[in-house]
Each structure stands twice: as C-alpha cells, then as structure tokens.
C-alpha cells in the first residue's frame, strides 16, 4: 500500500469516512503479514500514507484502529450471514449449525480479532471509541437477530441474544485451544498427547448444536 499523497485533513463526513477506510485497509494489509502484537501505531500511519500526528487526529491508539477494523469484519460477516441463510422457512438445528460453523470458517479473521477484543482492544480504547463500537455492533446485531428469529422454529429474539453470547464464548475458547504455535503442534503430534488436539470446526459445530438444543429444550 503506502501510497503517498498530499495530505489534507478531512473537512466533511464523506472525506472523514474515506480517511478512516484508508486506515482500515492499511491495517488489513499489515495484518496479513504480521500478528496484532507486532503491528504498531506508527506502522499503520506509514502504511496508510499518514504522519503519526495526522493519524492521531482520527484514532488515539492502535486498539481504537483495531476496533474499527473489527467493525469492518463484522459487516462482512453480516453480509455472508444474510446470503447464506437465504431459504424461506425454518432450518433444522443440524442444518443451521453446519452453516453457522462454515460462516465462521469463511470469516476466520473475525474470530481472531474477537479473541483479543475483551482482553486487549476494549480495555485499552477510549470511552468514546468503545461506545461507538458498541453502538455500531448493536445495529448490526439487531438486523442479524431479526433475520435468525425466522430461521429456527421457536427461536425468540431473547433466545437469539443468549445464543450469540454463548456461541461467542464457545468460539473464543475453542479458537484459543486450536490456534497453536509450531512447538505446541509438535508436542501434540506425539501419540501420548494427540487427544489434546482440537478440530475447531468440528467442535464448534457440535457446540452450536448443543447450545441451540438447550435453548429450545429439544434433544439432540
């Protein structure tokens, strides 16, 4: 990326949105090469063609930029969700769970970012940026919840809220258990420890089935 241009501060809402989009795209470019811990505020500024002081006019920290980056990925996930759950009528728990797990597999970066959301991004963001993130997510969540209510028989809006909370906890926990270093993987190659190896997609699919069956009071 790193495209130089004569920098001028955004004067309109549309210009500001364009600047923020440039920052998000620069962050995405860096994230493809480096992990979250390795990326710095200065690196993002350089990749976006900003000076550090100019970037500071839009975001106060790396964490705030990554919250915006996460908002971008949540919107991508939302669009996939609306496209993948397209048929009229209800899905069975098995059908829904398979599609739901495939959605997360297709949007792997989303679960990577959510796995650092509470411990890193939210804890070190300003009140204003955190509030903005929550408001933005609430709007997307409302749309997704209304859509899902019509996809599984007996799934009320209140149960969708519970489902989102439980599946998020499940996804974060399983991802951290499955996203291993080379040394961890080498240890798990030994027969004595192989049973500790986690197939994320398989376990997540099964977990989603259990959550839905519990919420709906059915046997699965």
Cβ count within 10 A of residue 43: 15
Contact 208, 170 (CB under 8 A): yes
Give dist(CA 113, CA 101) in Å, integer: 17
Give dist(CA 148, CA 171) in Å, integer: 18
Contact 147, 163 (CB under 8 A): no
Alpha-helical (H) ranges within the chain are 13-31, 41-48, 52-55, 62-84, 93-106, 108-114, 127-149, 157-178, 182-188, 200-216
Cβ count within 10 A of residue 120: 16
What CATH topology corresponds to 1-58?
Arc Repressor Mutant, subunit A (1.10.10)
Please give the structure tokens belonging to residue 189: 């190659």
pTM of the shown model: 0.85
Taking the alpha carbons at both ends of the chain, their separation in whole angstroms is 49
Q: Which 3 state secondary structure label does DSSP give 87? A: coil
At 96 the pLDDT is 95
pLDDT tens, residue order, the chain (220 aa): 554 444 455 556 788 899 999 999 999 999 999 999 999 999 999 999 999 999 999 999 999 999 999 999 999 999 999 999 988 889 999 999 999 999 999 999 999 999 999 999 999 999 999 999 999 999 899 989 999 999 999 999 999 999 999 999 999 999 999 998 999 999 999 999 999 999 999 999 999 999 999 999 976 5
> By C-alpha distance, which of 173, 149, 151 is closest to 161?
149
Give dist(CA 73, CA 110) in Å, integer: 6
Contact 71, 136 (CB under 8 A): yes
At 3 the pLDDT is 47
Q: Output the CA–CA distances (angstroms, integers) from residue 89 to 175, 212, 218, in the order listed.
A: 32, 17, 19
The boundaries of every CATH 1.10.357.10 domain in the chain are 60-216
- The single residue listed with the structure tokens 């350089």 is 46
The boundaries of every CATH 1.10.10 domain in the chain are 1-58
Cβ count within 10 A of residue 192: 8
In CATH, the architecture of 60-216 is Orthogonal Bundle (1.10)
């Amino acid at each position: 990326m790193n495209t130089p241009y004569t920098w001028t501060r955004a004067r309109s809402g549309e210009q500001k949105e364009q600047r923020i989009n440039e920052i998000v795209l620069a962050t995405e470019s860096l994230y493809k090469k480096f992990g979250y811990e390795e990326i710095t505020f200065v690196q993002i500024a350089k990749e976006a063609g900003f000076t550090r002081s100019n970037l500071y006019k839009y975001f106060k920290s790396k964490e705030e930029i990554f919250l915006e980056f996460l908002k971008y990925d949540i919107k991508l996930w939302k669009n996939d969700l609306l496209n993948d759950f397209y048929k009229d009528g209800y899905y069975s728990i098995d059908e829904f769970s398979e599609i739901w797990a495939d959605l997360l597999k297709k949007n792997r970066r989303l679960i990577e970012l959510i796995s650092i959301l509470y411990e890193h991004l939210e804890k070190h963001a300003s009140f204003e940026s955190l509030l903005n993130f929550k408001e933005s997510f609430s709007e997307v969540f409302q749309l997704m919840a209304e859509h899902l209510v019509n996809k599984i028989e007996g799934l009320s809006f209140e149960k969708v809220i519970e489902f989102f909370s439980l599946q998020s906890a499940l996804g974060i926990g399983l991802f951290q258990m499955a996203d291993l270093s080379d040394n961890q993987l080498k240890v798990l190659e030994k027969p004595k420890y192989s049973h500790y190896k986690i197939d994320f997609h398989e376990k997540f699919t099964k977990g989603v089935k259990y959550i839905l069956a519990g919420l709906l009071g059915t046997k699965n």
